[in-house]
C-alpha cells in the first residue's frame, strides 16, 4: 500500500514544505510513498508603516468630500465632527447629510444647540431614527457647555463621560477632531481588516481580533486622516459586495485577495429570526377636527417624541376587548382596513389603526395629552412610524405653516 506525502509550494519559492504525511499505520514507514504537490500564494505581510503610507497617499488623492470633513490643510471643527459622528451611528452618509446641514444652519455652535428647546431638537431630528441619539445629543451639548466651557474634551476618556458617546464615537472624535492616536473601528474598518488578514472567524465573535489588527496598523502621525482613510476605503473600494481590488492601495498586502475569498469576508454568524410585534394605534378626533397626540415616555423606543396613543407592542395580536382597555378616551372605535408596518432594529411592528371621535367635553385620560389640527400633524416632527399612521388615515403633507397645538 502506498502512503501519501503532500507538499505545498509557497509562491514562486523553490522551498517545498511538507504539510502532512499519511500512511497506513500497519505498514512500515520504509514502504514507498506517493508524492504530490499543491501550489498556493501568500500575500506580503502588512507592515504598519508601509500600510499607513500607502493608504494615506491614496486618501490624499481620493478622499470623499463631506460637509463635516475639514478640507486639506484646514483644522477640523470638533463640534461638526461630534455632530456628524452621532448622526452617522446606524445611519448612512446619504441620509445624514441634509440633517447635518439643517442642524448646522439652525444651531451653528454647541452653545446654540445647548440653549435650544428639547422639542425643537427632537422635531429637527424626526425621520433620522434612533431617537435616543437626539435626546443624548441635546444633553451632551448642555454638559459640554456647563462642564467644559463649551469646548469638547480632546481625550477618549473625557469624551466617554458625555451622554451618547461610546467607545467607537470617543475614538473617532479624538482621532478626527484632535488627531489623537486612537483605534477607530466601525463596520467598514472591520470588513477591511477581515479581508486584509483573511480572518475567517465570523462576526461578532471576531470583533476583538479585528480591533487588535486595526490597532497594529494605526500610525502615530495623521491618525485622524488615517481613520477616515480606512473608512473611505471600506465605503468606496472594499465594499460589502464586489470589492474593487484592482483599485485598492492595499491589494499587495491583502491575504483574502490572494486566496480569492475577499468577497466572502467578513463572515457573519447566522442572524436570529426577526420577531413581529403587534399593537393598536388610536386616531382620536374631537369636534374641531383635531387629533389627539401624547408625549411618549423619555426612555424606550421613540422616547420623548410626540405620537398617537397606542397599546403596548407585543408578540400576540390584540383582541378588540383587550385594545379597548387601552383606549385614551371613550369613543366608538372603527378599525381601518390594513395595518401600518414598520421595522425597528430588533423587531418588526404591525399596528392596526382605530379611528374614533370624542364628544366635545371629553378629556384624554393620558398625561401630557395634546390636541393638534389634523392638517398640521405632518409638520410637527413626528417620528417615521407616526407619519406612516397619518398617511394610512389619509393625511397628506401640506406646505409647512406654524402649527397650533393645545393642551388637553
Nearest to 97 by CA among 107, 87, 105, 108: 87
Assess whether the previous peptide bond of 266 is cis (omega < 30° from 0).
yes
**Helix, strand or coil, per DSSP, at residue 366:** coil
47-82 b/e with 16+ CB inside 10 Å = b? eeeebbebbbebbeeebeebebbbeeeeebbbbbbb
Distance CA 252, CA 241 (A): 20
CA distance 141 to 11: 56
Question: DSSP alpha helices (H): ranges in 23-92?
Answer: 48-62, 78-87
**Coil, strand or helix at 251:** helix
Q: Burial-class residue 220 by CB neighbours within 10 Å (0-12, 13-18, 19+).
A: exposed
Whole-number Å distance between alpha carbons of 406 and 363: 12
Helix (H) and strand (E) counts for the chain? 14, 11
3-state secondary structure at position 165: coil
Catalytic residues: 85
Within 10 angstroms of residue 406's Cβ, the number of other Cβ atoms is: 10
Query: Which of left, alpha, beta for 149 (phi over 0: left; psi -120 to 50: alpha)?
Result: left
Task: Provide the CB-side half-sphere exposure for 116 (13 A, CA).
Answer: 26
Grid cell 420577531 — which residue?
275
Q: Residue 407 class from Cβ within 10 Å (0-12 exposed, 13-18 middle, 19+ buried)?
A: exposed
Q: Which residue has the cell 486566496?
A: 259
* Separation CA 256–CA 198 (nearest Å): 5
CA 97 to chain centre: 14
Torsion region of 360: left, alpha or beta (phi above 0 gives left; psi -120 to 50 gives alpha): alpha
What are the cell numbers at 189?
474598518
Kindly give the pairing relationship between strand 16-22 and strand 275-285. Answer: unpaired
Amino acid at each position: 500500500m502506498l502512503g501519501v506525502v503532500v507538499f505545498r509550494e509557497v509562491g514562486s519559492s523553490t522551498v517545498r514544505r511538507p504539510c502532512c504525511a499519511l500512511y497506513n499505520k500497519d505498514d512500515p514507514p520504509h514502504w514507498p510513498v506517493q508524492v504530490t504537490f499543491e501550489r498556493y500564494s501568500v500575500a506580503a505581510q502588512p507592515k504598519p508603516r508601509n500600510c499607513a503610507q500607502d493608504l494615506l497617499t491614496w486618501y490624499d488623492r481620493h478622499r470623499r468630500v463631506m460637509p463635516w470633513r475639514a478640507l486639506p490643510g484646514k483644522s477640523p471643527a470638533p463640534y461638526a465632527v461630534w455632530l456628524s459622528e452621532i448622526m452617522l451611528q446606524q445611519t448612512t452618509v446619504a441620509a445624514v447629510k441634509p440633517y447635518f446641514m439643517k442642524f448646522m444652519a439652525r444651531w451653528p455652535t454647541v452653545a446654540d444647540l445647548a440653549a435650544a428647546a428639547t422639542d425643537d431638537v427632537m422635531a429637527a431630528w424626526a425621520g433620522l431614527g434612533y431617537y435616543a441619539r437626539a435626546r443624548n445629543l441635546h444633553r451632551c451639548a448642555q454638559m459640554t457647555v456647563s462642564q467644559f466651557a463649551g469646548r469638547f474634551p480632546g481625550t477618549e476618556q473625557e469624551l466617554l463621560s458625555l451622554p451618547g458617546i461610546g467607545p467607537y464615537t470617543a475614538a473617532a472624535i479624538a482621532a478626527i477632531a484632535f488627531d489623537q492616536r486612537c483605534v477607530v473601528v466601525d463596520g467598514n474598518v472591520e470588513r477591511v481588516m477581515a479581508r486584509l488578514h483573511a480572518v475567517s472567524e465570523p462576526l461578532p465573535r471576531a470583533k476583538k481580533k479585528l480591533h487588535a489588527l486595526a490597532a497594529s496598523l494605526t500610525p502615530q502621525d495623521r491618525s485622524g486622516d488615517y481613520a477616515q482613510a480606512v473608512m473611505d476605503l471600506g465605503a468606496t473600494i472594499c465594499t460589502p459586495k464586489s470589492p474593487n481590488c484592482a483599485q485598492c492601495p492595499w491589494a499587495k498586502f491583502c491575504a483574502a485577495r490572494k486566496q480569492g475569498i475577499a468577497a466572502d469576508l467578513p463572515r457573519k454568524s447566522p442572524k436570529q429570526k426577526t420577531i413581529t410585534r403587534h399593537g393598536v394605534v388610536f386616531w382620536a378626533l374631537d369636534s374641531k377636527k383635531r387629533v389627539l397626540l401624547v408625549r411618549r415616555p423619555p426612555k424606550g423606543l421613540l422616547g420623548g417624541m410626540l405620537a398617537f396613543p397606542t397599546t403596548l407592542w407585543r408578540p400576540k395580536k390584540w383582541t378588540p376587548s383587550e385594545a379597548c382597555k387601552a383606549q385614551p378616551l371613550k369613543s366608538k372605535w372603527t378599525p381601518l382596513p390594513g395595518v401600518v408596518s414598520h421595522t425597528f432594529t430588533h423587531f418588526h411592528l404591525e399596528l392596526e389603526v382605530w379611528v374614533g371621535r370624542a364628544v366635545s367635553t371629553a378629556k384624554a385620560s393620558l398625561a401630557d395629552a395634546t390636541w393638534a389640527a389634523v392638517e398640521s400633524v405632518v409638520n410637527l416632527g413626528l417620528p417615521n412610524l407616526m407619519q406612516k399612521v397619518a398617511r394610512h388615515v389619509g393625511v397628506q403633507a401640506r406646505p409647512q405653516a406654524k402649527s397650533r397645538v393645545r393642551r388637553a
